[in-house]
């Protein structure tokens, strides 16, 4: 059980959802992991090691654009998805949420009301995927005589090469061996979004609908830990299209009666 749906009851309604909110959710993940497992939290701050977890954008049962168009307004419950390829990470984060269900995000207060462990698809190769948070892929390009970070798009072959390379790196960390070579992505629909991931630091990432084929183990890494880069900042989470994320009947997630 490495994928979860986390539903939050807001203190006020409507509640505000900033367009650039991934870093706030990332902070929540790290704080709750640190509460339960400080050593694990410290190891996740190593910049040279893939973090092997990801999460979706923050959503609402109903939402609309605020009148001044500076943010979204949410109604009903707020929710987001969390996924990891490492059970220890899942255990620490979910335990931390259950121990302290009161959550404050961007000056809005919520209470964790329900956590559901979600079943994984039996087969991934050949399936259609939809992003729950956009996929980020970057490289270095020389501009004005200096190497600078360049955000790649699905129109560039290097976009797909680096996605595969990133998946293989994660696979090696998880399994200690090189994965099979079979891997192919065909993008069916693409929409760019520009995010401010830190003050003054921006990332162009892509909401995609795509079909992926290849080794099941390699695709599973992408499904669990995210496709592309910056997964622990909230990029690269996907779902299988046409199949709702349904809770397992033996879900470890506890519904909280308030």
> pLDDT (tens digit, 9 = 90+) per residue, 7-41?
999 999 999 999 999 999 999 999 999 999 999 98
pLDDT at 250: 33
Whether the per-residue pLDDT at 50 is higher than 90: the answer is no
pLDDT at 90: 94
How far, in Å, are 45, 207, 242 from residue 131 at the CA level? 25, 6, 13
pLDDT at 153: 94
Whether the per-residue pLDDT at 249 is higher than 50: the answer is no
pLDDT at 246: 40
pLDDT at 74: 93
Mean of all residue pLDDT scores within the chain: 88
Contacts of 234 (CB under 8 A, 6+ apart): 22, 23, 25, 26, 54, 55, 56, 57, 133
Whether the per-residue pLDDT at 140 is higher than 50: the answer is yes
Whether the per-residue pLDDT at 252 is higher than 80: the answer is no
Give residue 110's Cα distance to chain centre: 20
Instruction: Please compute Rg for the chain using Cα positions.
Output: 18
Which range (3-7, 70-74, 226-230, 240-244) has the least confidence?
240-244
pTM listed for this prediction: 0.87
Q: Is 45 a catalytic residue?
A: yes
pLDDT at 1: 56
Helices (H) and strands (E) in the chain, counts: 5, 13
- Interatomic CA distance for residues 178 and 229, integer angstroms: 19
Give residue 136's Cα distance to chain centre: 11
To the nearest 10°, the Cα dihedral for 26, 31, 33, 36?
Answer: -170
Catalytic residue (choose from 21, 23, 30, 75): 30
**Do 128-240 and 3-117 have the same topology in CATH?**
yes
Nearest Cα residue to 119 out of 249, 248, 253, 255: 248
Residue 139 exposed, middle or buried by CB count within 10 Å (0-12, 13-18, 19+)? middle
Q: In the chain, what are the domain boundaries?
A: 3-117, 128-240
Q: Which CATH architecture has domain 128-240?
A: 2-Layer Sandwich (3.30)
**Percent of all residues in the chain with a pLDDT value above 70, rounded to a whole number:** 93
Q: Which fold has domain 3-117?
A: Alpha-Beta Plaits (3.30.70)
Q: Quick: pLDDT tens for 97-123.
A: 999 999 999 999 999 999 999 988 989
Composition of the chain by helix, strand, coil, percent to 5: 25, 40, 35
Catalytic residue (choose from 21, 23, 45, 160): 45
- Token digits of residue 173: 């960390």
């Amino acid at each position: 059980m490495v994928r979860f749906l986390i539903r939050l009851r807001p203190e006020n309604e409507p509640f505000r959802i900033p367009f650039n909110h991934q870093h706030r959710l990332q902070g929540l993940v790290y704080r709750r992991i640190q509460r339960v497992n400080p050593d694990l939290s410290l190891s996740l701050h190593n910049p040279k090691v893939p973090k092997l977890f990801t999460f979706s954008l923050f959503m609402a049962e109903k939402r609309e654009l605020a009148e001044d168009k500076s943010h979204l307004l949410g109604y009903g419950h707020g929710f987001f998805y969390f996924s990891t390829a490492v059970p220890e990470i899942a255990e620490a984060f979910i335990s931390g949420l259950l121990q302290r269900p009161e959550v404050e995000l961007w000056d809005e207060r919520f209470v964790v009301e329900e956590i559901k462990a979600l079943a994984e698809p039996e087969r991934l190769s050949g399936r259609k995927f939809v992003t729950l948070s956009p996929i980020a892929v970057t490289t270095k390009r020389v501009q004005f005589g200096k190497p600078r970070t360049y955000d790649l798009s699905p129109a560039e072959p290097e976009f797909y090469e680096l996605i595969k390379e990133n998946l293989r790196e994660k696979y090696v960390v998880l399994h200690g061996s090189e994965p099979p070579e079979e891997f192919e992505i065909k993008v069916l629909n693409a929409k760019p979004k520009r995010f401010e991931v830190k003050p003054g630091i921006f990332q162009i990432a892509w909401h995609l609908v795509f079909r992926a084929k290849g080794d099941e183990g390699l695709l599973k890494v992408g499904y669990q830990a995210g496709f592309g880069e910056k997964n622990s900042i909230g990029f690269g989470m996907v779902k299988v299209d046409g199949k709702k994320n349904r809770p397992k009947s033996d879900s470890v997630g506890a519904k909280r009666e308030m």
